Structure 1
C-alpha cells in the first residue's frame, strides 16, 4: 500500500542543460520539484509513477533514454542497472528517470495514461497501483495563465488551477475526482488524468507540503501526501 505520494510538474525546463542561460530563472521550479522527489526517495528507493501521454495506456520500466529530442543529449535511466535503450521515451518518463537519478532513488516504473482517460478509469487505475510504498505523480496545469500563456490566455485557468491547488493542499480526493475532464482539456491541463489516478489510490491521506506557481504562463503544482 502506498504510504507517500509526491505530485510534481514535468516541464523540460527542469533540466538545466535544456535551458542553458535561463537556468537561474527556472531554478524555483526545479528546487520545488527536487524537494518533492527527495521526500519520496527518503521514504522508498523504488517508485511507481503515473504520467500523461497520448501513447498510453502503457508501462515503461528498466530502460534508459535521453532528452535528445529536446535539443541536448542528457541521458536518463528508469533504474540503476538499465541497459536496454528506448529512444522514444515520452516526457513524463524522461523526467521521472531524471528525478530518480538526481535524488538517488533505485528505480521508477512509469504508467502512462492518455490525456482523455475518464475519471472512473483513472480511479480504477489508482486502486490497482496501490501495491508499493511510493507514488510519483507527474502532471502540468493549464498553460493559459496571463500574458505568458502558451497560445492564448484564458480567464478560467486561474480558478481551475486554484481549485487543483486547494484539493492537493487538503489531500481532498473527492475534489480531485470532481475535476471536469472537458474543462481541463479546453485549458490544456493534461495533468488532470494523473491527479485523478492519485485520487483513486486508497488511503487516509494528509498533505505534508504543497505549492503552486505559474511563472511562465503554465500552472505547476507540487504536493507531498502521507498516509
Structure 2
C-alpha cells in the first residue's frame, strides 16, 4: 500500500470561518486540526495529499472550486461549489505543498463502493489521506438528531476503532445504523478502512460540544 499516513478531522460546518458567528466556537478545534494535518504532512513527506469527505456523489473536485459556505447563510450557493466536508479539508491542509486531491464519496455509498474507492486511492503514489468525518450527532437532547440511547456506546466504539487503527471495525459500520444516529462520516471512514493496512493509530482528541462527536485522529 502507498498510503503512508492518515488524519481524521471533524466535519463540523462551524470550522469554516464565519459560519459560527463572531463567537467562532470551534476556533481552537480548527487550529488543532490544521496543526495535526501540517505536522503529519511534514513528518511523513508523502507525494500527495488526498482529502476525502461526504458529498452527494463520488467524484474528484477541482482545487479551486468555489466555496459553498453560503448554504449556511444566504443560501445562494454558486454552481460547482465544494461539498462542505471537502471545503473543511481544503481549509485545513497546508498551502504550498505537493499535489492535493479533493475527492468526495457519496454519503449513501455502500461499504463495497467505499472499499473500492479506498483501494483505488491506496494504489496511487505515496499519500497522506485527510478524512473529514463526524461521529454520531445524537448524543444529547439538543443534538441535531436529538438523543438516541445507543449513540454514546456507538461513539465510544468509534473512538476506540480510531485509536487502534481498527480497519475491520470501520469496514463493518452498518449504513442503516449510522443513518439513524446521524453519523455523517460513515462512508469516508470506510474509504479510510480500505485504503490503509498495518498503520498505528492515535486518538488525538474527542469532544461533543453540540451533541455531535468530533474526533481528531492520526494513523501512521
TM-score norm. by structure 1 comes to 0.84
Q: 1:60: Cα distance to partner? A: 0.8
* Structure 2: gaps spanning 5 or more residues: none
* Helix, strand or coil at the partner of 2:154: helix
Q: 1:68 aligns with which of 51, 67, 70?
A: 70
The range that moved more, 157-166 or 43-52, is: 43-52
Q: 1:209: Cα distance to partner? A: 4.2
- 1:36-94 deviation digits (Å, cap 9, x = unpaired): 2223332347311211112x11111332422333338xxxxxxxxxxxx9652110121
Q: 1:20: Cα distance to partner? A: 2.9
How many residues of Structure 1 are paired with residues of Structure 2 in the alignment? 211
TM-score norm. by structure 2 comes to 0.86
Match for residue 80 of structure 1?
none
Q: 1:205: Cα distance to partner? A: 0.7
Residue 93 (structure 2) pairs with residue 100 (structure 1):
yes
Match for residue 216 of structure 2?
222
For 1:202 and 1:30, the matched residues in 2 are separated by 25
Residue 201 (structure 2) pairs with residue 210 (structure 1):
no
The range that moved more, 103-112 or 30-39, is: 103-112
Q: 1:29: Cα distance to partner? A: 2.4
Contact 1:145 1:157 in 2 (8 A): yes
- 1:131-174 deviation digits (Å, cap 9, x = unpaired): 23211111111111113311421111111111111000000111
Contact 1:61 1:108 in 2 (8 A): no
For 1:70 and 1:114, the matched residues in 2 are separated by 20
* Helix, strand or coil at the partner of 2:188: helix
* Helix, strand or coil at the partner of 2:66: strand
Match for residue 161 of structure 1?
155
Q: 1:18: Cα distance to partner? A: 2.3
Q: 1:154 to 1:221 in 2, by over 3 A?
A: same
Contact 1:18 1:71 in 2 (8 A): yes
For 1:87 and 1:219, the matched residues in 2 are separated by 29
* Structure 1: gaps spanning 5 or more residues: 73-84
Residue 120 (structure 2) pairs with residue 122 (structure 1):
no
Q: 1:53 to 1:151 in 2, by over 3 A?
A: same
Match for residue 194 of structure 1?
188
For 1:64 and 1:2, the matched residues in 2 are separated by 25
- 1:88-128 deviation digits (Å, cap 9, x = unpaired): 21101211221125x65454212211122111221221111
